Chain A
Amino acid sequence: MTEGEPLFRLDWVLQHLDMLWQRIGEHILVTVIAVAAGFVISFGLALAVRRYPFIYGPILAISGILYAIPSIALFVLFIPITGLSLLTAEIALVSYTLVILVRNMVTGLRGVPPEVIEAARGMGYTDRQRLWRVELPIAMPIIVAGLRIATVTTIGLVTIATLIGMGGLGYLIVNIGVQRRFPTATITGVVIVVLLSTAVDLGLQLLQRRLTPWARAHEA
């Protein structure tokens, strides 16, 4: 910390609102890309597991290993291949979402009671109708719960992606705040990350309640 520098300078924040908005925008963009890509890949994997249950073990093992690699290491690992690019960041971020999303999707689909599946078959749903109209809606609360964890985790990890030049709120926290010894930026960045995570988490929770009114019927 520079001598005489106060811990927090509101005037700096107010003077740099434009820059802050830009960082928030970058942060959200990187997060959304990672979660969306992770969701699509996980969904594909979960459907594959639904059809071929024996591949679940290997998928969990691989995604588990990816998850266990420290985030910085994973970023660095891909730099020789994909350079200091958005792609590098996204590869790492997506890898982290997989284990959470796949596990929740598979758990959700497997949690559909067998008698409900049998009833659906017996009523004459095609396999695809059964998936979209019965299994996925019933699995929805668990899938959205996974999505919430994955999104909040990713928002946190995107902060680290600043190390490979991805900007976002990490730029505020590390590049401005830590490297230039300017605590106002660090504090501002951290606060925004926390607010962002909380807001997204709450938003997804509300979305889930909206989508699954039946899941609350017995609580009411």
Chain B
Amino acid sequence: MTSSAAVVTLDHVSKRYGPAGTPPAVSDLSLTIPAGEIVVLVGPSGCGKTTTMKMINRLIEPTTGRITIDGEDVMRLPAVELRRRIGYVIQQVGLFPHLTVAENVAVVPRLLRWPETRVRDRVEELLDLVRLDPATYRDRYPSALSGGERQRVGVARALAADPPLMLMDEPFGAVDPILRDRLQNEFLRLQAQVRKTIVFVTHDVDEAIKMADRIAILQRGGILAQYDTPDAILAEPASEFVSRFVGADRGLKRLSLGRVRDLALTSPTTARVGEARADVRRRLDEAGAEYALLLDESDKPIGWIERRDLSGDDGVTPDDATPGSPTLQPESTLRDALSAMLGSSVQLGVVVDEAERVLGVVSVDAISEVLRAPAATVR
């Protein structure tokens, strides 16, 4: 557990709170959580997500089975030492009300007896990382923070001793949807930098799809219903339970995983302002197409010209074109792309780069093709 990310394995783990014979909260769960990935545990309330997570840092001890971190059996390590090496974010945040923001963040480094100067530097670094200005927030008490600020301090506190593994139980559960979206994005950006192994608990499927490299769907009794990438789960739910849990709109959800850049773009027949109409007609004939995309001098799209409007021999003017195709960026999600295309008169999306130059076009068909494809073509 010294690398920057740890591998966690759960090997036939069960937890029963009551005496033998009572139904277990977690049943025979086996999972491998790869280093540097975000694994999301998701499932209906009471299905054993929190129980599973807390067995990893021994806040709860398994009834049977084995949990290892980088090959070490967690039950063999002193609990206190183990926990100091695992970042932990709980749903209700649980900041220490009697400590300032800086002191909260410094808790684990101080337990580990880091020298004071190192602790101070680390606190500044972490507050910057979670975008809280140290000068403003360092000396505040938690009661003087907003919900979102508290969540960030909670994340900073968990990251403080640079643990290779983070456990996060509904870390963004207590904030409004807009702020949650922002915190999720910030966290994904952060994770791209720190590359920890993260076990993330939520009961929100959309959050799971957004955050996860892999999703473990649990059903009541802590039974693993499916463990796979978000795309694979949405493409091929392993059971009736999973497909009901991910929702009837799983096709659309799957589209939100894909980006326009993942599609094969087609090159439209193009025309340029000022070009002779006869030339454009000839090119449309060669391509067997009915429409040409009109571009201005700097390759920006103006709109579509239909073949039958191209009689005569003068140059093409911008007035000949019908605007209406949505422009899409390679980063747009397929879901947004489809939505834009369905809402416009021409159901073709024009994909442009940052300078608004045309890269190609995509059709509604190309997007629905993706949904028919098996998993893993997306992402």
B108 touches A124 (CB 8 A): yes
In the assembly, what is the distance between CA of A123 and CA of B140, in Å?
21
Chain A nearest CB, measured from B39 CB (Å): 18
- With both beta carbons as reference points, the residue of chain A lying nearest to B82 in the complex is identified as A124
Cα distance, A138 to B96, chains bound together (Å): 9
- Tell me whether A124 and B97 are in contact (CB under 8 A): no
B111: contacting residue among A118, A119, A129, CB under 8 A: A129
Q: Does B334 contact A (CB under 8 A)?
A: no
Interface assignment of A80: CB less than 8 Å from any CB of chain B = no
Question: Which listed residue, B80, B90, B144, touches A115 by the CB 8 Å rule?
Answer: B90
Interface residues of A in 163-189 (CB under 8 A from B): none
Q: A115-B90, A138-B97 are in contact. Are A123 and B59 (CB under 8 A)?
A: no
Nearest B residue to A126, CB-CB: B80
A212 touching B98 in the complex, CB below 8 Å, given contacts A115-B92, A122-B59: yes
| Interface band, chain A | 20 to 34
Size bracket, chain B contacts: 20 to 34
Asked if A137 lies at the interface with its beta carbon under 8 angstroms from chain B, I say yes
A116 to B98, CA, bound (A): 11
* B94, A124: Cβ atoms closer than 8 Å: no
CB of A121 within 8 A of chain B?
A: yes
A115 near B93 (CB under 8 angstroms)? Answer: yes
A91-129 to B contact mask, C-beta < 8 Å, 1/0:
000000000000000000000010110111111111001
Cα separation A213 to B82 with both chains bound (whole Å): 33
- List residues of B (124-153) whose CB comes within 8 Å of A's CBs: 140-141, 143-144
**Extra A-B contacts (13), CB below 8 Å, given A124-B80, A217-B140, A217-B144:** A113-B97, A119-B88, A119-B90, A119-B93, A122-B57, A122-B167, A123-B88, A123-B111, A124-B83, A134-B98, A212-B98, A214-B98, A214-B100
Q: Write 17 A-B pairs (CB below 8 A) sorted by A numbering.
A: A113-B92, A113-B97, A115-B91, A116-B94, A116-B96, A116-B97, A120-B96, A123-B88, A124-B82, A124-B108, A124-B111, A138-B98, A213-B141, A214-B143, A215-B98, A217-B141, A218-B143
